[in-house]
Amino acid sequence: MTQTTKEMTSGPSLPLILNFTFPLLLGNVLQQTYSLADAAIVGKFLGIDALASVGASTSVVFLILGFCNGCCGGFSIPVAQKFGARDYVTLRRYVSVSLKLAAVMSVLIAVITSLLCALILRTMRTPANIFDGAYIYLLITFAGVPCTFFYNLLSSIIRALGDSKTPFWFLLFSAVLNILLDLFCILVLEWGVAGAAIATVFSQGVSAVLCYFYMYRKFDVLKPQGSDRRFRPELAQQLLYIGVPMGLQFSITAIGSIMLQSANNALGTACVAAFTAAMRIKMFVMCPLDSLGMAMATYSGQNYGAGKPDRIWAGIKSAALMMVVYSLAVALVIWLAAEKFALLFISPDETEIIADTALFLHINVSFFILLGSLSILRYSIQGAGYTKLAMFSGVSEMVARVLVSVVVVPLWGFWGVCFGDPTAWLFANLFLVPAFIYVYRRLHLIVAKERVLS
């Protein structure tokens, strides 16, 4: 039995996007469960210093893994576009070339970043009492980059064909495996923070293997024919042209995050622990916004390929409605229960750290509409193939976080850290709104020209 694909080039946009987003959301929630499980188990069983060790390099991990994930998302855009255009031969060739590029890129990234771990942590002013734990956690995470790269690439390809459910089921299995391995490695084998990192890397590797075998066994349009497996430099160039700017967008954004986290690290271990717990909770509750954006990338890509720019605008309006409803709801929940969420990671007697964690969450969720707008517009622009514009929005975020780190944090301390992300979201939106207007007009011109020529 073969798996059917799903087109989003006709029919009402809201139910299409909602149905496509839901499995993505569940998958993102599970992926964040990796981080939640690591932090919660480490914080409860190994203590505040160990929790700070896991979180001291969060922004650096985001820089590297964000680049990988951005490249994967970029590699899947031509797949979505060719699927929307029903050009299945070129689609298969793009998939084959993307896998070869992923193999080379992921190994190179893993080697280079693993060699630079100590330098990175020293540059970020990591406190001496948590340096060793932070180093081993970062080293194992970087060594496992190929697992993360391939899972994200394969799941992105599957989603580009309209199937957002299957990657979720594989991720569900891996999330459960990750939690069990966390407990086994930390409590039974007593491997400390290294055990948490190993559990996460191994679990993502399992997801990647499952996605690979499923993809080629179940999708008829992916089954290679003739010379489809041959490496094609012209397709590789096109994939890199789209994927690298998307990866750089995340990395450029992360540079600002590194500056912000470095400023926070200088405030001491307690602030690092509060930042770690708050970031894990924030990343979890922002999953629906990320998922909505990812759905818009596929939706936009397919409708761009089908020559239907008006459907992209209709999709953005539908996504914006869902985003506003969720942002208001989650803000209410976090304002009422932030301290209780903090207790997942922190002992009740650590009252100062709990208060700082709640402060960070209260400020950030109050600006989630800005984050949701950013996600919808950025991914829609990427799906239409204008990845360089999306990258420049990352530059806006970086500038905002650097300004907050250099000017605001020295004056306001942890309060300044709390306003770092909302300021970055505002700066990004100031760029993305006019950028989308430009892209939308360009798409109409392209479609009009194609109709004249045909």
pLDDT tens column, 246-290: 777 777 777 777 778 778 877 887 787 888 788 888 888 888 888
Phi first, then psi: what are they for 160, rounded to 5°?
Answer: -60, -25
Q: How far apart are the C-alpha atoms of 164 and 6, rounded to whole Å?
A: 10
Structure tokens at 308: 């239907």
Any bridge partners for residue 219, and if so which? 3
Question: To 5 degrees, how large is the angle CA 120–CA 65–CA 329?
Answer: 115
How would you classify residue 5: left for phi > 0, otherwise alpha for psi between -120 and 50, otherwise beta? beta
225, exposed or middle or buried, with CB in 10 Å at 0-12, 13-18, 19+?
A: exposed
195, 32 Cβ separation under 8 angstroms: no
CA atoms within 13 A on the CB side of 246: 28
In this prediction, residue 268 carries a pLDDT of: 80
Residue the block writes with tokens 């390809």: 157
* Angle between helices 309-342 and 420-453 in degrees, nearest 10: 160
Q: How far apart are the C-alpha atoms of 424 and 413, rounded to whole Å?
A: 18
38, 196 Cβ separation under 8 angstroms: yes
Greatest distance between any 2 Cα atoms in the chain? 72
Q: How far apart are the C-alpha atoms of 304 and 96, rounded to whole Å?
A: 22
List of residues 6+ apart from 226 with CB closer than 8 A = none
How would you classify residue 4: left for phi > 0, otherwise alpha for psi between -120 and 50, otherwise beta? beta
Stretches where the chain sits below pLDDT 50 are: 1-4
Structure tokens at 64: 């590297």
68, 109 Cβ separation under 8 angstroms: yes
Phi first, then psi: what are they for 437, rounded to 5°?
Answer: -60, -40
CA proximity to 112, closest of 47, 60, 170, 171: 60
CA atoms within 13 A on the CB side of 402: 11
Residue ranges of E strands in 5-134:
none
Q: How far apart are the C-alpha atoms of 423 and 421, rounded to whole Å?
A: 5
**Model confidence pTM above 0.85:** no
Q: What is residue 219's DSSP assignment?
A: B
Q: What is residue 129's DSSP assignment?
A: G
Question: To 5 degrees, how large is the angle CA 255–CA 55–CA 394?
Answer: 20
In this prediction, residue 300 carries a pLDDT of: 83
Residue ranges of E strands in 78-194:
none
Q: How far apart are the C-alpha atoms of 160 and 328, rounded to whole Å?
A: 30
Question: To 5 degrees, how large is the angle CA 66–CA 67–CA 69?
Answer: 60
Structure tokens at 178: 């990750």
Residue ranges of E strands in 331-423:
none
160, 242 Cβ separation under 8 angstroms: no
In this structure, how many other beta carbons lie within 10 angstroms of the beta carbon of residue 452? 7
In this prediction, residue 368 carries a pLDDT of: 94
In this prediction, residue 372 carries a pLDDT of: 93
pLDDT single digits (tens) 360-375 = 999 999 999 999 999 9
Residue the block writes with tokens 């569900």: 172
Q: How far apart are the C-alpha atoms of 22 and 16, rounded to whole Å?
A: 10
Amino acid type, 388: K
